[in-house]
Chains A and B, each alone.
Chain A
Amino acid sequence: MANSLTVEQTCLMFNYISKKIIENKPLLTEVDGAIGDGDHGIGMSVGFTAASKRLNETELSSINDIFKTTGMAMINSMGGASGVIFGTMFLGGVKKAPLIEQLNLESLTRICESALKEVKLRGKAEIGDKTMVDALEPAVEALKESVSQSLCLIDGLKSAEKSAKEGVEKTKEQYPKFGRAKTLGERAIGHQDAGATSVWIIFRSMREWVEKNKN
């Protein structure tokens, strides 16, 4: 099984993530509609459509280029809070990174760590606030743990996906501190956060792609 992805493979994986987010537009719309304003699915779909298009028409020479292109495309197409936050997640992942030529568990982990830091800086959310951070932070912790145990890429992704999913489940019991769900207060209890759901779908899609393209 491939333990590291080339720039070309990573780009294909990003296209797959885009496809999966776009496929899940109805789910994200429904989840957001319960406690937000119901546009998260539309926004994410607009963002990943733009990202895919830009990735396919841009000369990409490094992993950094892929994350940067994706982040900028999302920021410049989506608008709303999720445009900045998800754009910052990709862009922030490689903001201060040296040139990355291959995506392996170590480089992915460093990217995700930096992404989490930048997202928290921009959005001011912490774990437990019922936001996408509640899926991203556990996933980053799982990746770090996987690196320390010297796991292979697919096992690291499986662990990150599982932790992100658990994070999504926990958002159901959390009291919202941000966005339009905040005004709901207790009425938001029982509903998962849409942004966290997107983070989980992104990790799940990465795991699926790596699993399907074993060689």
Chain B
Amino acid sequence: MKKIINNQEQVVEEMLDGFMAAYGDEYRKIDGVNGVVRKNKKEKVGIVIGGGSGHEPLFLGYVGEGLADGVAVGNVFAAPTPNNVHEVTKAVDSGKGVLHIIINYAGDVMNFEMGAELAEMEGLTVKTVSVCDDVVSAPIERSEERRGIAGALYVYKIAGAAAEQGLSLEEVARIAQKASDSIRTVGIALTPGTIPNTGLPTFELADDEMEFGMGIHGEPGVHRTKLLKADELTDKMLTYIFNEMPLENNEEVCVLVNGLGSTTPMELMIVNRRIAQILEERNIRVYNTDIGNFCTTQEMGGMSISLLKLDDELKKYFDVPAYSPFYMRKGK
């Protein structure tokens, strides 16, 4: 393993130390757990996100203005503990209730569920929305089993805006769920990432192969093939999305082209060139595009494409300005 770390057991704590050293003016680390919250607490619905470490800037990077209020950071690729979720939930609660936005993995579901139970025992109100945007991870009949990946960013963004505007917990949860239901993501893998606390690769793939639908922890995908050229690959990836999210003429989408770690901005832009062509051919309007590393697995090679289908309501909240050290939206 070739990684710039000190101690395999301490990567999460030392990452948080570095984050706090840089951004401590705006964030507070909660004593005793790996939780971080915004210092500027407002009277509004609190939004808590979280998950295993190793996917940065997900999740830590999406706490901020118009985004989440707190994050429960887990060990490497392991959901945060109920105790951590509970502490972060308490810290962001202003009496208006708290929304947990989780990505759909068994560990995250169970730990957040227990964390919510602990908070509810103390009289807090918690609602949960689970992001399941990875279309390749289960067929549509079992879409509730699908994993959550990069598309979660849109849910954080939109729910964060709805909370910032003073909506009730019921409403923020409804809008977050609607955003979640309007996102489809498909990913491909080229090369594995290395698990920092074992030094092991997350999967094995031959030098000239790629895999469709492989998960961000190396969960096997649906189709392994020889390396394709960018255009052909992009066409195939979009087909998975169009097959189940038919987009009509003049409908609007947001596009998220996400690198998984070591895939370069150059490659991502080449992919986006083709995405823009295809969407134009289909008369689908692109409202906004983000290109970058939003949800990674260490130095994993590969990328994902997410489309968010907009309506007036989602667009309104998408347009609210947002800021964190890892995500910025100017607003329109």
Looking at the complex, which one of B107, B215, B221 makes contact with A84 (CB distance below 8 Å)?
Answer: B107
Alpha-carbon gap, A184 to B213, bound state (A): 12
Q: Is residue A39 within 8 Å, beta carbon to beta carbon, of the partner chain?
A: yes
Assuming the A-B contacts A37-B77, A84-B110, are A75 and B195 also in contact, with contact meaning beta carbons closer than 8 angstroms in the complex?
no
- Give the chain A neighbours of B111 by CB distance below 8 A: 79-80, 83-84
Contact with B along A17-41 (1 / 0, CB 8 A): 0000000000001000100011100
CB distance from B31 to the nearest CB of A (A): 14
Asked whether, in the complex, the Cβ of B220 is within 8 Å of the Cβ of A75, the reply is no
Q: Is residue B76 within 8 Å, beta carbon to beta carbon, of the partner chain?
A: yes
CB distance from A22 to the nearest CB of B (A): 13
Asked whether, in the complex, the Cβ of B217 is within 8 Å of the Cβ of A180, the reply is yes
Asked whether, in the complex, the Cβ of A37 is within 8 Å of the Cβ of B202, the reply is yes
Assuming the A-B contacts A37-B217, A78-B75, A84-B110, are A42 and B197 also in contact, with contact meaning beta carbons closer than 8 angstroms in the complex?
yes
Q: Is residue B161 within 8 Å, beta carbon to beta carbon, of the partner chain?
A: no
Contact with A along B123-163 (1 / 0, CB 8 A): 00000000000000110000001000000000000000000
Main SS at interface, chain A: helix
Interface size class on chain B is 20 to 34
Report the nearest A residue to B78, measured CB to CB: A80
Asked whether, in the complex, the Cβ of A79 is within 8 Å of the Cβ of B75, the reply is yes
Q: Is residue A187 within 8 Å, beta carbon to beta carbon, of the partner chain?
A: yes
CB distance from B89 to the nearest CB of A (A): 15
Report the nearest A residue to B50, measured CB to CB: A79
Q: Is residue B80 within 8 Å, beta carbon to beta carbon, of the partner chain?
A: yes
Interface residues of B in 61-86 (CB under 8 A from A): 74-84
- Give the chain A neighbours of B220 by CB distance below 8 A: 183-184, 187
Asked whether, in the complex, the Cβ of A79 is within 8 Å of the Cβ of B215, the reply is no
Q: Is residue B7 within 8 Å, beta carbon to beta carbon, of the partner chain?
A: no
Q: Is residue B218 within 8 Å, beta carbon to beta carbon, of the partner chain?
A: yes
Report the nearest B residue to A177, measured CB to CB: B145
Q: Is residue A85 within 8 Å, beta carbon to beta carbon, of the partner chain?
A: yes
Q: Is residue A77 within 8 Å, beta carbon to beta carbon, of the partner chain?
A: yes
Asked whether, in the complex, the Cβ of B219 is within 8 Å of the Cβ of A183, the reply is yes
Asked whether, in the complex, the Cβ of A85 is within 8 Å of the Cβ of B81, the reply is no
- Give the chain B neighbours of A82 by CB distance below 8 A: 107
Asked whether, in the complex, the Cβ of B200 is within 8 Å of the Cβ of A79, the reply is no
CB distance from A214 to the nearest CB of B (A): 37
CB distance from A191 to the nearest CB of B (A): 12
Report the nearest A residue to B34, measured CB to CB: A79
Enumerate 16 A-B pairs (CB-CB under 8 Å) in ascending A order. A29-B198, A37-B217, A42-B75, A42-B76, A42-B197, A75-B83, A79-B78, A80-B74, A80-B77, A80-B78, A80-B111, A81-B79, A83-B79, A83-B107, A84-B110, A183-B220
Give chain A's interface residues, CB within 8 Å of chain B.
29, 33, 37-39, 42-43, 46, 75-85, 122-123, 178-180, 182-184, 187
New contact pairs (17) apart from A39-B78, A80-B75, CB-CB < 8 Å:
A29-B198, A29-B200, A37-B77, A39-B76, A42-B198, A76-B81, A76-B82, A77-B81, A79-B75, A79-B80, A80-B52, A80-B111, A83-B79, A83-B81, A84-B107, A85-B110, A180-B217
